[in-house]
Amino acid sequence: MKPIIFALFFIYNYICGFAQIFDSTLTPLLDKSTAPFAFGVASGDPHTNSVILWTKLYTQEPTTEAVKWEIATDTFLIQPVNSGEVFPEWQSAYTIKIKATELKPNTTYYYRFKYKNSYSAIGRTKTAPENADLLKLAVVSCSNYEAGHFNAYRLVALQNDIAAVIHLGDYIYESGSLPNPDKPKVRYHIPPHEIVSLRDYRTRYAQYRLDADLQEAHRLHPFITTWDDHEFANNSYSGGAQNHQSNEGNWEARKQVAKQAYFEWLPILPDTGEPQVIRQLQFGNLADLWMLDTRIEARAKQLTSPYDAELKNPTQTILGKSQADWLIDGLVKSTAKWKILGNQVMFSDFSAKHISKKYQRNLDAWDGYPADRNRIMDSLYAHQIQNIVVLTGDIHSSWAFDLARQQRNKKTYRKTPDNKIIGAEMVVTSITSTNADERVGKPLAKFAQSIIKNRVANPHLRYVNIIDHGYLLLELTPQYARGSWVYTPTVKSPSAEVDKTVKWQTHFDNNRLHRVK
Ligand SMILES: [Fe+2]
Protein backbone atom coordinates (compact mmCIF):
# COMPACT_ATOMS: atom_id res chain seq x y z
CA MET A 1 0.00 0.00 0.00
CA LYS A 2 1.33 3.48 -0.88
CA PRO A 3 2.21 5.62 2.18
CA ILE A 4 -0.36 8.28 1.40
CA ILE A 5 -3.15 5.71 1.00
CA PHE A 6 -2.07 3.99 4.18
CA ALA A 7 -2.09 7.32 6.05
CA LEU A 8 -5.57 8.15 4.78
CA PHE A 9 -6.76 4.65 5.63
CA PHE A 10 -5.34 4.96 9.15
CA ILE A 11 -6.99 8.34 9.73
CA TYR A 12 -10.28 7.01 8.36
CA ASN A 13 -10.14 3.99 10.63
CA TYR A 14 -9.14 6.04 13.64
CA ILE A 15 -12.00 8.49 13.16
CA CYS A 16 -14.43 5.61 12.70
CA GLY A 17 -13.37 4.04 15.94
CA PHE A 18 -10.62 1.57 15.09
CA ALA A 19 -8.69 2.62 18.14
CA GLN A 20 -11.69 1.99 20.30
CA ILE A 21 -12.69 -1.55 19.47
CA PHE A 22 -12.00 -2.62 23.05
CA ASP A 23 -12.05 -0.86 26.39
CA SER A 24 -8.56 -0.05 27.69
CA THR A 25 -9.18 -2.33 30.71
CA LEU A 26 -8.66 -5.29 28.37
CA THR A 27 -5.01 -4.43 27.66
CA PRO A 28 -3.48 -5.83 30.90
CA LEU A 29 -5.17 -9.19 30.24
CA LEU A 30 -3.56 -9.63 26.85
CA ASP A 31 -0.35 -11.54 26.57
CA LYS A 32 1.31 -9.89 23.56
CA SER A 33 3.14 -13.09 22.70
CA THR A 34 -0.21 -14.64 21.75
CA ALA A 35 -1.11 -11.85 19.28
CA PRO A 36 -2.54 -11.79 16.69
CA PHE A 37 -4.51 -14.93 17.67
CA ALA A 38 -4.92 -14.17 21.37
CA PHE A 39 -8.60 -15.15 21.31
CA GLY A 40 -7.93 -18.60 19.91
CA VAL A 41 -9.94 -20.41 17.27
CA ALA A 42 -13.42 -21.88 17.15
CA SER A 43 -15.77 -23.82 14.91
CA GLY A 44 -19.52 -24.21 14.81
CA ASP A 45 -22.75 -25.35 13.18
CA PRO A 46 -21.49 -28.66 11.78
CA HIS A 47 -23.30 -30.04 8.76
CA THR A 48 -22.45 -33.19 6.83
CA ASN A 49 -20.23 -31.33 4.36
CA SER A 50 -19.42 -28.01 6.01
CA VAL A 51 -18.51 -26.29 9.26
CA ILE A 52 -17.96 -22.66 10.26
CA LEU A 53 -14.41 -21.70 11.23
CA TRP A 54 -13.75 -18.65 13.40
CA THR A 55 -10.93 -16.51 14.67
CA LYS A 56 -10.40 -12.85 15.45
CA LEU A 57 -7.28 -10.80 14.95
CA TYR A 58 -5.94 -8.78 17.80
CA THR A 59 -3.87 -6.06 16.22
CA GLN A 60 -3.11 -2.50 17.23
CA GLU A 61 -2.60 -1.48 13.63
CA PRO A 62 -5.14 -1.14 10.86
CA THR A 63 -4.66 -3.91 8.38
CA THR A 64 -5.88 -5.03 5.01
CA GLU A 65 -3.66 -8.08 4.79
CA ALA A 66 -5.30 -11.39 4.09
CA VAL A 67 -5.80 -14.04 6.72
CA LYS A 68 -5.22 -17.49 5.27
CA TRP A 69 -7.06 -20.59 6.46
CA GLU A 70 -6.72 -24.31 5.83
CA ILE A 71 -8.47 -27.47 6.94
CA ALA A 72 -7.22 -31.07 6.79
CA THR A 73 -7.85 -34.53 8.18
CA ASP A 74 -4.30 -34.89 9.52
CA THR A 75 -3.22 -33.20 12.73
CA PHE A 76 -0.25 -31.44 11.12
CA LEU A 77 -2.28 -30.15 8.17
CA ILE A 78 0.17 -31.57 5.67
CA GLN A 79 -2.54 -32.26 3.09
CA PRO A 80 -5.28 -29.61 3.33
CA VAL A 81 -8.61 -30.60 1.83
CA ASN A 82 -9.67 -26.98 1.54
CA SER A 83 -8.09 -23.58 2.06
CA GLY A 84 -8.52 -19.94 1.22
CA GLU A 85 -8.03 -16.39 2.38
CA VAL A 86 -10.24 -13.65 3.76
CA PHE A 87 -9.67 -10.00 4.42
CA PRO A 88 -10.26 -8.78 7.97
CA GLU A 89 -12.41 -5.69 8.40
CA TRP A 90 -12.30 -3.29 11.29
CA GLN A 91 -16.11 -2.88 11.07
CA SER A 92 -16.43 -6.40 12.46
CA ALA A 93 -13.52 -5.86 14.87
CA TYR A 94 -11.39 -8.10 12.64
CA THR A 95 -13.62 -11.12 13.00
CA ILE A 96 -12.75 -13.93 10.61
CA LYS A 97 -15.57 -16.34 9.85
CA ILE A 98 -15.65 -18.70 6.94
CA LYS A 99 -17.69 -21.68 5.90
CA ALA A 100 -15.35 -24.58 5.13
CA THR A 101 -17.14 -26.70 2.53
CA GLU A 102 -16.48 -29.85 0.48
CA LEU A 103 -15.99 -31.86 3.66
CA LYS A 104 -16.97 -35.48 4.33
CA PRO A 105 -19.66 -36.48 6.84
CA ASN A 106 -18.83 -37.66 10.36
CA THR A 107 -15.15 -36.79 9.94
CA THR A 108 -12.73 -35.14 12.33
CA TYR A 109 -10.87 -32.19 10.82
CA TYR A 110 -8.04 -29.92 11.93
CA TYR A 111 -7.78 -26.27 10.91
CA ARG A 112 -5.67 -23.18 11.44
CA PHE A 113 -5.24 -19.58 10.33
CA LYS A 114 -2.19 -17.61 9.23
CA TYR A 115 -1.69 -13.86 9.37
CA LYS A 116 1.61 -12.45 8.12
CA ASN A 117 4.12 -14.87 9.68
CA SER A 118 1.98 -15.98 12.60
CA TYR A 119 -0.04 -19.17 12.82
CA SER A 120 -3.01 -19.69 15.08
CA ALA A 121 -3.38 -22.70 17.31
CA ILE A 122 -4.62 -25.79 15.45
CA GLY A 123 -8.31 -26.32 16.06
CA ARG A 124 -10.20 -29.60 15.89
CA THR A 125 -13.75 -29.97 14.61
CA LYS A 126 -16.12 -32.60 13.30
CA THR A 127 -18.79 -32.73 10.60
CA ALA A 128 -22.26 -34.12 11.25
CA PRO A 129 -22.99 -37.75 10.37
CA GLU A 130 -25.28 -38.86 7.54
CA ASN A 131 -26.35 -41.77 9.69
CA ALA A 132 -25.45 -42.64 13.23
CA ASP A 133 -26.12 -45.24 15.90
CA LEU A 134 -24.58 -43.15 18.65
CA LEU A 135 -24.38 -39.42 19.13
CA LYS A 136 -23.00 -37.54 22.12
CA LEU A 137 -23.62 -33.83 22.63
CA ALA A 138 -22.39 -31.69 25.52
CA VAL A 139 -25.01 -29.19 26.68
CA VAL A 140 -24.00 -26.06 28.60
CA SER A 141 -25.39 -22.74 29.81
CA CYS A 142 -24.88 -19.86 32.21
CA SER A 143 -21.16 -19.12 32.49
CA ASN A 144 -20.75 -16.06 34.68
CA TYR A 145 -17.05 -15.13 34.75
CA GLU A 146 -17.34 -13.41 38.11
CA ALA A 147 -19.01 -16.41 39.75
CA GLY A 148 -16.11 -18.81 39.34
CA HIS A 149 -13.68 -20.75 37.24
CA PHE A 150 -14.93 -22.40 34.06
CA ASN A 151 -14.08 -25.92 35.27
CA ALA A 152 -17.07 -27.43 33.48
CA TYR A 153 -15.81 -25.98 30.18
CA ARG A 154 -12.50 -27.70 30.91
CA LEU A 155 -14.33 -31.02 31.37
CA VAL A 156 -16.19 -30.45 28.10
CA ALA A 157 -12.88 -29.73 26.34
CA LEU A 158 -11.50 -33.03 27.67
CA GLN A 159 -14.55 -35.02 26.51
CA ASN A 160 -13.09 -36.50 23.33
CA ASP A 161 -16.07 -38.33 21.90
CA ILE A 162 -18.69 -35.59 21.55
CA ALA A 163 -20.07 -34.44 18.21
CA ALA A 164 -20.69 -30.85 19.31
CA VAL A 165 -21.34 -28.53 22.24
CA ILE A 166 -24.82 -27.03 22.46
CA HIS A 167 -24.73 -23.68 24.27
CA LEU A 168 -28.15 -22.56 25.49
CA GLY A 169 -27.15 -19.02 26.37
CA ASP A 170 -25.96 -16.75 29.15
CA TYR A 171 -22.56 -17.14 27.49
CA ILE A 172 -21.63 -13.78 29.01
CA TYR A 173 -23.22 -11.68 31.76
CA GLU A 174 -23.84 -7.98 31.39
CA SER A 175 -23.29 -6.86 34.98
CA GLY A 176 -20.30 -4.95 36.26
CA SER A 177 -18.82 -4.55 39.70
CA LEU A 178 -15.84 -3.16 41.54
CA PRO A 179 -13.92 -5.34 44.03
CA ASN A 180 -15.58 -5.26 47.44
CA PRO A 181 -13.52 -6.76 50.30
CA ASP A 182 -16.71 -7.55 52.23
CA LYS A 183 -18.19 -9.53 49.33
CA PRO A 184 -15.23 -10.79 47.30
CA LYS A 185 -15.89 -12.48 43.97
CA VAL A 186 -13.78 -15.19 42.42
CA ARG A 187 -12.86 -12.81 39.57
CA TYR A 188 -14.07 -9.50 38.19
CA HIS A 189 -15.64 -8.38 34.98
CA ILE A 190 -14.15 -5.85 32.62
CA PRO A 191 -15.19 -3.27 31.85
CA PRO A 192 -16.13 -2.84 35.52
CA HIS A 193 -19.48 -1.26 34.69
CA GLU A 194 -22.64 -2.77 33.20
CA ILE A 195 -22.09 -3.22 29.47
CA VAL A 196 -24.25 -1.05 27.24
CA SER A 197 -22.24 0.09 24.19
CA LEU A 198 -20.78 -1.96 21.35
CA ARG A 199 -17.29 -1.44 22.79
CA ASP A 200 -18.51 -2.65 26.18
CA TYR A 201 -20.03 -5.84 24.78
CA ARG A 202 -16.97 -6.52 22.61
CA THR A 203 -14.68 -6.07 25.59
CA ARG A 204 -16.76 -8.43 27.75
CA TYR A 205 -16.68 -11.17 25.08
CA ALA A 206 -12.94 -10.63 24.71
CA GLN A 207 -12.44 -11.16 28.44
CA TYR A 208 -14.44 -14.40 28.36
CA ARG A 209 -12.58 -15.67 25.31
CA LEU A 210 -9.25 -15.10 27.03
CA ASP A 211 -10.32 -17.70 29.61
CA ALA A 212 -8.15 -20.75 28.92
CA ASP A 213 -10.90 -23.30 29.65
CA LEU A 214 -13.51 -21.71 27.40
CA GLN A 215 -10.91 -21.13 24.68
CA GLU A 216 -9.89 -24.79 24.81
CA ALA A 217 -13.49 -26.02 24.64
CA HIS A 218 -13.94 -23.91 21.49
CA ARG A 219 -10.64 -25.13 20.02
CA LEU A 220 -11.54 -28.80 20.41
CA HIS A 221 -15.27 -28.96 19.58
CA PRO A 222 -17.76 -27.29 17.24
CA PHE A 223 -20.30 -25.19 19.15
CA ILE A 224 -23.98 -24.79 18.30
CA THR A 225 -25.11 -21.70 20.16
CA THR A 226 -28.13 -19.63 20.95
CA TRP A 227 -28.49 -16.70 23.30
CA ASP A 228 -30.49 -16.17 26.47
CA ASP A 229 -31.11 -12.92 28.33
CA HIS A 230 -27.68 -12.00 29.69
CA GLU A 231 -26.13 -11.63 26.24
CA PHE A 232 -28.43 -8.55 26.24
CA ALA A 233 -29.66 -7.70 29.77
CA ASN A 234 -31.36 -9.64 32.56
CA ASN A 235 -34.88 -10.94 31.83
CA SER A 236 -34.95 -9.41 28.39
CA TYR A 237 -37.86 -9.61 25.99
CA SER A 238 -38.36 -8.15 22.54
CA GLY A 239 -39.21 -4.65 23.74
CA GLY A 240 -36.97 -4.28 26.79
CA ALA A 241 -35.43 -5.97 29.80
CA GLN A 242 -35.79 -5.95 33.57
CA ASN A 243 -32.18 -4.77 33.70
CA HIS A 244 -32.47 -1.98 31.15
CA GLN A 245 -33.27 1.48 32.45
CA SER A 246 -34.15 4.52 30.40
CA ASN A 247 -30.91 6.25 31.46
CA GLU A 248 -29.01 3.42 29.77
CA GLY A 249 -30.15 4.63 26.38
CA ASN A 250 -32.49 3.26 23.76
CA TRP A 251 -33.30 -0.48 24.11
CA GLU A 252 -33.39 -1.14 20.38
CA ALA A 253 -29.94 0.39 19.99
CA ARG A 254 -28.59 -1.70 22.88
CA LYS A 255 -30.19 -4.83 21.47
CA GLN A 256 -28.54 -4.20 18.10
CA VAL A 257 -25.03 -3.71 19.47
CA ALA A 258 -25.42 -6.76 21.74
CA LYS A 259 -26.48 -8.79 18.70
CA GLN A 260 -23.59 -7.46 16.64
CA ALA A 261 -21.08 -8.40 19.31
CA TYR A 262 -22.67 -11.87 19.71
CA PHE A 263 -22.32 -12.66 16.03
CA GLU A 264 -18.79 -11.28 15.95
CA TRP A 265 -17.75 -13.74 18.66
CA LEU A 266 -19.78 -16.90 18.03
CA PRO A 267 -19.25 -19.25 15.05
CA ILE A 268 -22.58 -18.71 13.30
CA LEU A 269 -22.65 -17.68 9.65
CA PRO A 270 -25.76 -17.52 7.46
CA ASP A 271 -25.78 -18.69 3.87
CA THR A 272 -27.46 -15.42 2.98
CA GLY A 273 -28.53 -12.29 4.80
CA GLU A 274 -28.20 -11.53 8.50
CA PRO A 275 -27.06 -14.21 10.93
CA GLN A 276 -29.72 -15.56 13.26
CA VAL A 277 -29.80 -18.05 16.11
CA ILE A 278 -33.07 -19.68 15.00
CA ARG A 279 -32.01 -22.61 12.81
CA GLN A 280 -32.17 -26.36 12.37
CA LEU A 281 -29.30 -28.85 12.36
CA GLN A 282 -29.44 -32.54 11.54
CA PHE A 283 -27.51 -35.52 12.81
CA GLY A 284 -28.46 -38.08 10.19
CA ASN A 285 -31.43 -40.27 10.92
CA LEU A 286 -30.78 -40.09 14.65
CA ALA A 287 -31.60 -36.51 15.62
CA ASP A 288 -32.97 -33.22 14.37
CA LEU A 289 -32.07 -30.17 16.45
CA TRP A 290 -34.01 -26.91 16.48
CA MET A 291 -32.20 -23.99 18.06
CA LEU A 292 -34.77 -21.53 19.38
CA ASP A 293 -34.93 -17.90 20.39
CA THR A 294 -37.39 -17.50 23.25
CA ARG A 295 -35.90 -14.15 24.27
CA ILE A 296 -35.31 -11.44 21.77
CA GLU A 297 -37.11 -11.74 18.47
CA ALA A 298 -40.73 -12.00 19.55
CA ARG A 299 -41.16 -12.52 23.31
CA ALA A 300 -43.90 -10.40 24.89
CA LYS A 301 -43.12 -8.68 28.18
CA GLN A 302 -43.26 -10.95 31.22
CA LEU A 303 -46.44 -10.63 33.28
CA THR A 304 -46.11 -10.08 37.00
CA SER A 305 -49.03 -12.17 38.27
CA PRO A 306 -50.13 -15.73 37.42
CA TYR A 307 -53.71 -14.50 37.85
CA ASP A 308 -53.35 -11.88 35.11
CA ALA A 309 -56.19 -12.34 32.59
CA GLU A 310 -53.67 -11.89 29.75
CA LEU A 311 -51.68 -14.98 30.74
CA LYS A 312 -53.51 -17.36 28.40
CA ASN A 313 -53.94 -14.85 25.59
CA PRO A 314 -52.06 -15.99 22.41
CA THR A 315 -50.58 -12.49 22.22
CA GLN A 316 -48.61 -13.44 25.34
CA THR A 317 -46.12 -15.17 23.06
CA ILE A 318 -42.60 -16.43 23.71
CA LEU A 319 -41.77 -17.64 20.18
CA GLY A 320 -43.82 -15.40 17.92
CA LYS A 321 -46.01 -16.85 15.19
CA SER A 322 -43.40 -17.32 12.47
CA GLN A 323 -40.96 -19.16 14.76
CA ALA A 324 -43.78 -21.35 16.17
CA ASP A 325 -45.00 -22.14 12.63
CA TRP A 326 -41.45 -23.00 11.56
CA LEU A 327 -40.87 -25.23 14.58
CA ILE A 328 -44.17 -27.11 14.28
CA ASP A 329 -43.73 -27.56 10.52
CA GLY A 330 -40.23 -28.94 11.11
CA LEU A 331 -41.39 -31.31 13.86
CA VAL A 332 -44.19 -32.64 11.68
CA LYS A 333 -41.87 -33.23 8.71
CA SER A 334 -38.97 -34.67 10.70
CA THR A 335 -38.17 -38.34 10.19
CA ALA A 336 -35.34 -38.39 12.74
CA LYS A 337 -35.64 -40.75 15.69
CA TRP A 338 -35.11 -37.99 18.27
CA LYS A 339 -36.37 -34.43 18.03
CA ILE A 340 -34.25 -32.10 20.12
CA LEU A 341 -35.17 -28.53 21.07
CA GLY A 342 -32.31 -26.18 22.03
CA ASN A 343 -34.37 -23.94 24.29
CA GLN A 344 -33.55 -21.27 26.87
CA VAL A 345 -36.16 -21.20 29.66
CA MET A 346 -38.04 -24.00 31.44
CA PHE A 347 -40.66 -25.50 29.13
CA SER A 348 -42.47 -27.67 31.66
CA ASP A 349 -45.55 -26.68 33.62
CA PHE A 350 -44.10 -26.31 37.10
CA SER A 351 -46.05 -25.16 40.11
CA ALA A 352 -44.39 -23.93 43.29
CA LYS A 353 -47.72 -23.08 44.89
CA HIS A 354 -46.99 -25.50 47.72
CA ILE A 355 -43.85 -23.48 48.51
CA SER A 356 -44.82 -19.88 47.92
CA LYS A 357 -48.05 -18.30 46.74
CA LYS A 358 -46.16 -15.24 45.61
CA TYR A 359 -43.56 -17.12 43.53
CA GLN A 360 -45.75 -20.06 42.47
CA ARG A 361 -44.93 -19.58 38.76
CA ASN A 362 -41.80 -18.53 36.93
CA LEU A 363 -43.41 -16.08 34.53
CA ASP A 364 -40.06 -15.56 32.78
CA ALA A 365 -40.27 -19.21 31.61
CA TRP A 366 -42.85 -20.95 29.37
CA ASP A 367 -45.21 -20.92 32.37
CA GLY A 368 -45.62 -17.23 31.57
CA TYR A 369 -46.59 -18.07 27.96
CA PRO A 370 -48.95 -21.09 28.12
CA ALA A 371 -50.68 -20.43 24.78
CA ASP A 372 -47.47 -21.08 22.83
CA ARG A 373 -46.72 -24.22 24.86
CA ASN A 374 -50.24 -25.53 24.38
CA ARG A 375 -50.04 -24.92 20.64
CA ILE A 376 -46.82 -26.93 20.36
CA MET A 377 -48.07 -29.77 22.57
CA ASP A 378 -51.43 -29.94 20.77
CA SER A 379 -49.61 -30.17 17.43
CA LEU A 380 -47.38 -32.97 18.71
CA TYR A 381 -50.38 -35.02 19.86
CA ALA A 382 -52.36 -34.26 16.69
CA HIS A 383 -49.52 -35.66 14.58
CA GLN A 384 -48.64 -38.44 17.04
CA ILE A 385 -45.11 -37.14 17.40
CA GLN A 386 -43.03 -38.36 20.32
CA ASN A 387 -39.39 -38.93 21.29
CA ILE A 388 -38.94 -35.24 22.08
CA VAL A 389 -36.05 -33.99 24.19
CA VAL A 390 -36.27 -30.37 25.30
CA LEU A 391 -32.90 -29.02 26.40
CA THR A 392 -33.06 -26.02 28.71
CA GLY A 393 -30.68 -23.69 30.58
CA ASP A 394 -31.22 -20.34 32.28
CA ILE A 395 -31.96 -21.26 35.89
CA HIS A 396 -28.59 -22.48 37.22
CA SER A 397 -29.95 -25.82 38.40
CA SER A 398 -30.63 -29.34 37.09
CA TRP A 399 -34.11 -30.72 36.40
CA ALA A 400 -35.68 -33.63 34.51
CA PHE A 401 -39.37 -33.73 33.61
CA ASP A 402 -41.61 -36.21 31.85
CA LEU A 403 -43.24 -34.32 29.01
CA ALA A 404 -47.01 -34.58 28.47
CA ARG A 405 -49.84 -32.29 27.40
CA GLN A 406 -51.13 -31.84 30.95
CA GLN A 407 -48.00 -32.59 32.92
CA ARG A 408 -49.46 -31.94 36.34
CA ASN A 409 -52.55 -34.10 35.81
CA LYS A 410 -51.23 -37.02 37.80
CA LYS A 411 -54.35 -39.15 37.21
CA THR A 412 -53.95 -39.36 33.47
CA TYR A 413 -50.54 -38.29 32.37
CA ARG A 414 -49.12 -41.76 32.34
CA LYS A 415 -52.15 -43.62 31.09
CA THR A 416 -54.46 -41.94 28.62
CA PRO A 417 -53.50 -41.62 24.93
CA ASP A 418 -54.30 -37.92 24.82
CA ASN A 419 -51.97 -37.25 27.73
CA LYS A 420 -49.31 -39.92 27.43
CA ILE A 421 -45.67 -39.09 27.95
CA ILE A 422 -44.12 -38.07 24.63
CA GLY A 423 -40.68 -36.93 25.68
CA ALA A 424 -38.52 -35.41 28.36
CA GLU A 425 -37.19 -32.02 29.36
CA MET A 426 -33.62 -31.95 30.62
CA VAL A 427 -32.48 -28.73 32.27
CA VAL A 428 -28.73 -28.24 32.49
CA THR A 429 -27.17 -26.52 35.49
CA SER A 430 -24.84 -23.56 35.21
CA ILE A 431 -21.15 -23.67 34.36
CA THR A 432 -20.60 -21.19 37.22
CA SER A 433 -23.59 -18.86 37.66
CA THR A 434 -24.82 -18.66 41.22
CA ASN A 435 -27.13 -21.44 42.31
CA ALA A 436 -29.22 -21.90 45.44
CA ASP A 437 -26.59 -22.86 48.02
CA GLU A 438 -24.43 -19.90 47.05
CA ARG A 439 -27.37 -17.60 47.72
CA VAL A 440 -28.87 -19.07 50.90
CA GLY A 441 -26.31 -21.58 52.19
CA LYS A 442 -26.19 -25.34 51.72
CA PRO A 443 -28.54 -26.44 54.57
CA LEU A 444 -31.37 -24.18 53.42
CA ALA A 445 -30.74 -25.07 49.77
CA LYS A 446 -30.97 -28.79 50.58
CA PHE A 447 -34.18 -28.20 52.51
CA ALA A 448 -35.64 -26.20 49.59
CA GLN A 449 -34.62 -28.97 47.19
CA SER A 450 -36.47 -31.57 49.26
CA ILE A 451 -39.64 -29.46 49.18
CA ILE A 452 -39.38 -28.86 45.43
CA LYS A 453 -39.28 -32.63 44.92
CA ASN A 454 -42.90 -32.89 46.12
CA ARG A 455 -44.44 -35.36 43.63
CA VAL A 456 -48.00 -34.43 44.52
CA ALA A 457 -47.64 -30.88 43.24
CA ASN A 458 -45.45 -31.88 40.28
CA PRO A 459 -45.80 -35.59 39.45
CA HIS A 460 -43.82 -35.10 36.22
CA LEU A 461 -40.72 -33.81 38.03
CA ARG A 462 -38.28 -36.71 38.19
CA TYR A 463 -35.01 -35.07 39.21
CA VAL A 464 -33.88 -31.79 40.67
CA ASN A 465 -30.54 -30.49 41.94
CA ILE A 466 -30.30 -26.79 42.83
CA ILE A 467 -26.82 -26.98 44.34
CA ASP A 468 -24.20 -28.21 41.86
CA HIS A 469 -22.48 -26.78 38.77
CA GLY A 470 -21.48 -28.68 35.66
CA TYR A 471 -22.74 -29.68 32.24
CA LEU A 472 -25.11 -32.19 30.64
CA LEU A 473 -23.95 -34.98 28.36
CA LEU A 474 -26.75 -36.05 26.02
CA GLU A 475 -26.26 -39.50 24.55
CA LEU A 476 -28.58 -40.65 21.76
CA THR A 477 -28.94 -44.10 20.23
CA PRO A 478 -31.88 -45.62 18.31
CA GLN A 479 -32.93 -47.19 21.61
CA TYR A 480 -32.55 -44.45 24.23
CA ALA A 481 -31.86 -40.79 25.03
CA ARG A 482 -29.69 -40.48 28.12
CA GLY A 483 -28.87 -37.32 30.01
CA SER A 484 -25.84 -37.44 32.28
CA TRP A 485 -25.48 -34.45 34.59
CA VAL A 486 -21.72 -34.17 35.15
CA TYR A 487 -20.86 -32.12 38.23
CA THR A 488 -17.68 -30.29 39.16
CA PRO A 489 -16.48 -30.29 42.79
CA THR A 490 -15.96 -26.52 42.90
CA VAL A 491 -15.97 -23.28 40.93
CA LYS A 492 -13.92 -21.42 43.54
CA SER A 493 -10.58 -22.75 42.29
CA PRO A 494 -9.39 -24.33 39.03
CA SER A 495 -10.19 -28.05 38.78
CA ALA A 496 -10.45 -30.70 36.08
CA GLU A 497 -12.12 -33.23 38.42
CA VAL A 498 -15.58 -34.76 38.15
CA ASP A 499 -17.37 -34.75 41.49
CA LYS A 500 -20.30 -37.00 40.50
CA THR A 501 -22.50 -37.95 37.55
CA VAL A 502 -26.28 -38.49 37.65
CA LYS A 503 -27.97 -40.26 34.71
CA TRP A 504 -31.59 -40.31 33.59
CA GLN A 505 -32.84 -41.75 30.33
CA THR A 506 -35.92 -42.41 28.25
CA HIS A 507 -36.55 -45.26 25.84
CA PHE A 508 -37.59 -44.74 22.24
CA ASP A 509 -41.41 -44.77 21.91
CA ASN A 510 -41.78 -45.16 25.68
CA ASN A 511 -40.31 -41.87 26.84
CA ARG A 512 -40.84 -42.19 30.57
CA LEU A 513 -37.73 -41.02 32.39
CA HIS A 514 -35.94 -43.47 34.65
CA ARG A 515 -32.67 -43.27 36.49
CA VAL A 516 -29.73 -45.42 35.41
CA LYS A 517 -26.43 -46.19 37.10
FE1 LIG B 1 -28.17 -17.68 33.63
Together in a domain, 206 and 97: no
Q: What is the CATH number of the domain that holds 437?
A: 3.60.21.70
Q: What is the pLDDT of residue 220?
A: 98
Task: Output the pTM of the full model.
Answer: 0.95
Distance from Cα 227 to the centre of ligand 1, integer Å: 10
Distance from Cα 140 to the centre of ligand 1, integer Å: 11
Distance from Cα 396 to the centre of ligand 1, integer Å: 6
Together in a domain, 118 and 186: no
Residues 6 or more apart in contact with residue 121 via CB below 8 angstroms: 37, 40, 41, 112, 219
Distance from Cα 141 to the centre of ligand 1, integer Å: 7
Q: Which of 69, 247, 221, 235 is nearest to 157 (CA)?
A: 221
Together in a domain, 382 and 336: yes
Distance from Cα 395 to the centre of ligand 1, integer Å: 6
Distance from Cα 14 to the centre of ligand 1, integer Å: 36
Distance from Cα 516 to the centre of ligand 1, integer Å: 28
Q: What is the CATH number of the domain that holds 85?
A: 2.60.40.380
Cα end-to-end distance, the chain, whole Å:
65
Q: What is the pLDDT of residue 61?
A: 79
Distance from Cα 9 to the centre of ligand 1, integer Å: 42
Together in a domain, 75 and 178: no
Domain holding 415, by residue range, is 128-516
Together in a domain, 73 and 143: no
Domain-ending residue, one of 125, 145, 174:
125
Domain-ending residue, one of 100, 125, 150:
125
Together in a domain, 10 and 111: yes
Together in a domain, 113 and 149: no
Number of independent structural domains in the chain: 2
| Residue 38, CA distances (Å) to 21, 118, 398 in order | 15, 11, 34
Distance from Cα 154 to the centre of ligand 1, integer Å: 19
Residuewise pLDDT in 10s, the chain (517 residues): 455 554 554 455 544 444 589 999 998 998 888 899 999 999 999 999 999 999 999 987 788 899 999 999 999 999 999 999 999 999 999 999 999 999 999 999 999 999 999 999 999 999 999 999 999 999 999 999 999 999 999 999 999 999 999 999 999 999 998 888 888 899 999 999 999 999 999 999 999 999 999 999 999 999 999 999 999 999 999 999 999 998 999 999 999 999 999 999 999 998 888 899 999 999 999 999 999 999 999 999 999 999 999 999 999 999 999 999 999 999 999 999 999 999 999 999 998 888 877 778 999 999 999 999 999 999 999 999 999 999 999 999 999 999 999 888 777 776 678 889 999 999 999 999 999 999 999 999 999 999 998 777 899 999 999 999 999 999 999 999 999 999 999 999 999 999 999 999 999 999 999 999 9
Distance from Cα 32 to the centre of ligand 1, integer Å: 32
Together in a domain, 282 and 166: yes
Reduced to 3 states (helix: H, G, I; strand: E, B; else coil), residue 282 is strand
Query: Would you call the peptide bond into 191 cis, given omega within 30 degrees of 0 as the criterion?
Result: yes
Domain-ending residue, one of 82, 109, 125:
125
Distance from Cα 430 to the centre of ligand 1, integer Å: 7
Q: Which of 234, 231, 251, 250 is nearest to 242 (CA)?
A: 234
Together in a domain, 114 and 143: no
Distance between CA atoms of residues 154 and 344, nearest Å: 22
Q: Are 496 and 486 in contact (CB under 8 A)?
A: no
Together in a domain, 167 and 244: yes
Q: Which of 168, 171, 465 is nearest to 340 (CA)?
A: 168
Distance from Cα 228 to the centre of ligand 1, integer Å: 8
Distance from Cα 324 to the centre of ligand 1, integer Å: 24
Q: What is the pLDDT of residue 453?
A: 86
Distance from Cα 470 to the centre of ligand 1, integer Å: 13
Distance from Cα 53 to the centre of ligand 1, integer Å: 27
Distance between CA atoms of residues 348 and 405, nearest Å: 10
DSSP letter, residue 122: P
Distance from Cα 488 to the centre of ligand 1, integer Å: 17
Together in a domain, 72 and 212: no
Distance between CA atoms of residues 417 and 437, nearest Å: 40
Distance from Cα 142 to the centre of ligand 1, integer Å: 4
Together in a domain, 325 and 458: yes
Distance from Cα 393 to the centre of ligand 1, integer Å: 7
Per-residue HEC secondary structure of 11-77 comes to: HHHHHCCHHHCCCHHHHHHCCHHHCCCCCCEEEECCCCCCEEEEEECCCCCCCCCCEEEEEECCCCC
